[in-house]
Amino acid sequence: IPIRSVVVLEDDAHPAELQACHPRGESKFSMKMRRGGLVKVFGGSCLMAGSLYKSLLVSDRTCTTELIQLVLHCYNSTEHHEKFSIYEISCTKDYERRLHPTELPLQIQQEWPSNEHFAFQLRRNVEGIQRRLPWLRSPEPSGKANLQWLYGRSSLGLHSLSESDDAFNTYENCFYI
């Protein structure tokens, strides 16, 4: 009668080495993927010119630091993960927030009301320099601003603009915080 035992291995376990410790044919390992989802990280242009984003399948336990390491690996970068940060940004609320290294990006993404108006963005950390934020005109008189995601040349990479073409949107007016 075959005996079946299910053992959950640690993340750093080596199943092939464990199997070698048992007589041939007496142990079998199968792998299951953790629950997870797809996370899109914009801002790849800070690593490779012309790259807009990377889509990554991550676990529900993947933290911000691990996500940065995955993105760097996708671009074959040897830079240290501490030189980068992930930001949660929204074009409709003119909102951005730097994620803490231990936060879980997939969990944050699942709380978004819509993936169309929120995104994650990889940014290179720059110490001692003030960040520029584009100054955006308030919504149109109708109360509805026709916002769209655009990938631009600004320091934000992703930003929103009204569809009307006026002086406010033609020039990148900035303020410092």
Percent of the chain, pLDDT > 90?
37
pLDDT of residue 45: 82
Residue ranges and CATH numbers for the domains of the chain are: 36-126 (3.10.20.90)
Each residue's pLDDT tens digit, 46-73: 888 888 899 999 999 999 999 999 999 9
**Res. 160: pLDDT tops 60:** no
Distances (CA, A) of 158 to 49, 136, 153: 15, 13, 9
